[in-house]
Amino acid sequence: MGTTYYIDPARSILQSYEAEAEKEVGRAKLRALRVPTIART
């Protein structure tokens, strides 16, 4: 079947989750995600 029918909806779902997470960070309900780097270890 390939990705023809589900790749765009999947991207949309992820964008919605990311937008909601950003709102929650702005409201101080969540902490911003910190991705560890070599410099921080």
DSSP at 1? -
Number of compact structural domains in the chain: 1
pLDDT of residue 3: 78
Residue 12 lies in a domain: yes
DSSP string, 6-28: THHHHHHHHHHHHHHHHHHHHTT
Domain boundaries, position 29: 7-40
Residue 36 lies in a domain: yes
Residue 1 lies in a domain: no
Residue 16 lies in a domain: yes
Contact criterion met (CB below 8 Å) for 30 and 24: yes
17: confidence class by pLDDT, cuts 50, 70, 90 = very high
Contact criterion met (CB below 8 Å) for 21 and 30: yes
Residue 26 lies in a domain: yes
Residue 2 lies in a domain: no
pLDDT digits (tens, 9 = 90+) for 20-39: 999 999 999 989 888 888 88
